[in-house]
Amino acid sequence: MSQNGSLLSASDRPQTSVQDPSVEFGGQPLTQILADTLEYARTRDYKGWDYGDGMSSKLLRALPFENKWVNLAVQEMVKRPPINVRPLFLVEQRRNYKGTALFTIANLNYHHYTRAMGEETSVDYLDEARHLADWLIENRSIGYHGFCGGHKHEIQHLEQKGVPNDPDVVSTSFAVKALLTASPYDPVYAPVARTASEFVVEDLDYREVDGGAKINYHMNHPDTYYTLNSGALGARLLVDIYAHYGDESDLERATAILDFIADQQADIGGWTYRVPASSSHLSMDNHHNGFILDAFLRYKRVCDSSRYDETIERGLAFYRTVLFDTDGAPNWDESKSYPRDIHAAATAIAVFTAAGDLEMASRIIGWTIENLYAGDGRFYYRKHKFYTVKTTLMRWAQAWMAYAMSEYLNAVARADGYQLGVDAPMYVPPKS
């Protein structure tokens, strides 16, 4: 697209295009895999099974009593088997809030990509994105200080039970990103997204601590431990809003949150899921480290700041060399290879794309297509050492891979000289 928003003429377009080997995997153009992935979701109205949706079992809800341990048992029995037992438990298929946000961005990205390439499509990807963005607003959680959202099904935790629409910072962060990305197409989106900063400050208890600041993951988060990746995504939310509106208070709070998280970086470069580390069975797992790095990369990109350069350099080195094999296979954490999870692969594709390491992102895509792609736009959940869990989860697998592939494709196109996106007024912070 030219500076005035028109498509590049044929003579102006670089010769590299969708047929370039850098966007072809397993003999199939990545554009086709992405289109098929979006079609898989679109024809199902973006509804499907999810990672922790066992509480949506109609059989469980039909019981004449409720017990935390029964809830946990069913939830884990649905989540862990090597085959998909959700149909046996009559688990409902629903839209996931974060998944819908990811599909919003993926559709927008593909709309921008196909326009830049001058391709005709039978699907109006912009219209799809706008419908999904509208759904995010219509289905937000009500009764809080600002825009927010959460899972659409119950989740049984050890401490308490999460109810549908119980808002959390992770879901909200991606919804804010989606609305701001779509904001050139509707004047309502950005003002709604902007109010999420009040949700973070007021409802998630933003507070200053030694070394920076903290926020809660969700409304009922215990105070005996701190979840690092959710704090990072809260900071990213504030940075995204700052990038659009330029309110210094958003940037100051994001900086304080990231200062604290930077201090929690281990000597080997990664972050544990929680502090103290002993409060979780997860260690330095793959995709949560990706979330943290994504927040630091977004801060650097928006603020043009070197504040976290050492943190990012050490974190990316750990992420690349410890959490991934040389062929692009995602390791589970710093000490275990398996299971190799689709979410870890997709998150990393987006993170390395954001870091400008398209070669690493391409390597991970290649491994994922070879090992976790079923064809026809459908991805598998996990690969274990001796078997693969061939369950397709709409948010965990489909939405994340659609988002990741679309981010990569757009980055490749920009590297080839194409201009993508919509020209829209946006605050650009001064260089430090």
User: Cis peptide leading into 330, omega within 30 of 0?
Assistant: no
- Confidence category of residue 162, pLDDT binned at 50, 70, 90: confident
Residue 369 falls inside a structural domain? yes
Residue 338 falls inside a structural domain? yes
Report pLDDT for 3: 33
Report pLDDT for 422: 73
3-state helix, strand, coil split of the chain in percent (to 5) is: 50, 10, 40
CA angle 387, 342, 348 (to 5 degrees): 135
Closest residue by Cα to residue 396 from 79, 24, 155, 141: 79
User: Which residue would you say has higher pLDDT here, 52 or 204?
Assistant: 204
- Confidence category of residue 104, pLDDT binned at 50, 70, 90: very high
Report pLDDT for 17: 38
Q: How far apart are CA 103 and CA 143, in angstroms?
A: 26
Can you read off the two tokens belonging to residue 233? 């995504």
Single-letter residue type at 96: N
Residue 170 falls inside a structural domain? no
- Confidence category of residue 378, pLDDT binned at 50, 70, 90: very high
- Asked if residue 14 has pLDDT above 50, the reply is no
Residue 24 parent element (H or E): strand 24-25
Residue 131 falls inside a structural domain? no
Residue 386 falls inside a structural domain? yes
Closest residue by Cα to residue 254 from 216, 296, 219: 296
Which domain CATH number covers 285? Answer: 1.50.10.10
CA angle 106, 107, 112 (to 5 degrees): 100
Report pLDDT for 421: 83
Residue 340 parent element (H or E): strand 340-341
Report pLDDT for 373: 98
Single-letter residue type at 283: S
Number of neighbours of residue 183 by Cβ within 10 angstroms: 21
By residue range, what is the domain housing residue 341? 21-51+204-415
Find the range with the poorest average confidence among 51-60, 203-212, 382-391: 51-60
Closest residue by Cα to residue 147 from 88, 103, 190, 102: 190
Q: How far apart are CA 206 and CA 264, in angstroms?
A: 18
Residue written as token pair 């377009």 = 13
- Confidence category of residue 2, pLDDT binned at 50, 70, 90: very low
Mean pLDDT in residue range 139-155: 92
Residue 306 falls inside a structural domain? yes
Report pLDDT for 153: 78
Summarised one tens digit per residue, pLDDT across range 220-271 is 788 899 999 999 999 999 999 999 999 999 999 999 999 999 999 999 999 9
- Asked if residue 1 has pLDDT above 60, the reply is no
- Asked if residue 15 has pLDDT above 50, the reply is no
Report pLDDT for 27: 85
Residue written as token pair 């094999």 = 325
Percent of the chain with pLDDT over 70: 93
Per the document, the length of the chain is: 432
What Rg value do the Cα atoms of the chain yield, rounded? 21
Where are the alpha helices (H) located in 246-285, listed in sequence order? 248-263
Report pLDDT for 11: 35
Contact in structure between 347 and 293 (CB atoms under 8 Å): no
Report pLDDT for 13: 33
Q: How far apart are CA 219 and CA 234, in angstroms?
A: 13
Which letter does DSSP use for residue 163 in this model? P
Summarised one tens digit per residue, pLDDT across range 388-422 is 999 999 999 999 999 999 999 999 999 988 888 87
Mean pLDDT of the chain: 91
Residue 42 falls inside a structural domain? yes
Mean pLDDT in residue range 125-144: 97
Which residues make Cβ contacts (< 8 Å) with residue 357, sequence separation at least 6?
A: 316, 320
Residue 223 falls inside a structural domain? yes
- Asked if residue 424 has pLDDT above 50, the reply is no
Percent of the chain with pLDDT over 90: 82
- Asked if residue 322 has pLDDT above 70, the reply is yes
User: Which residue would you say has higher pLDDT here, 315 or 21?
Assistant: 315
- Confidence category of residue 351, pLDDT binned at 50, 70, 90: very high
Q: What is the number of domains present in the chain?
A: 1
- Confidence category of residue 204, pLDDT binned at 50, 70, 90: very high
Mean pLDDT in residue range 199-206: 97
Report pLDDT for 165: 78
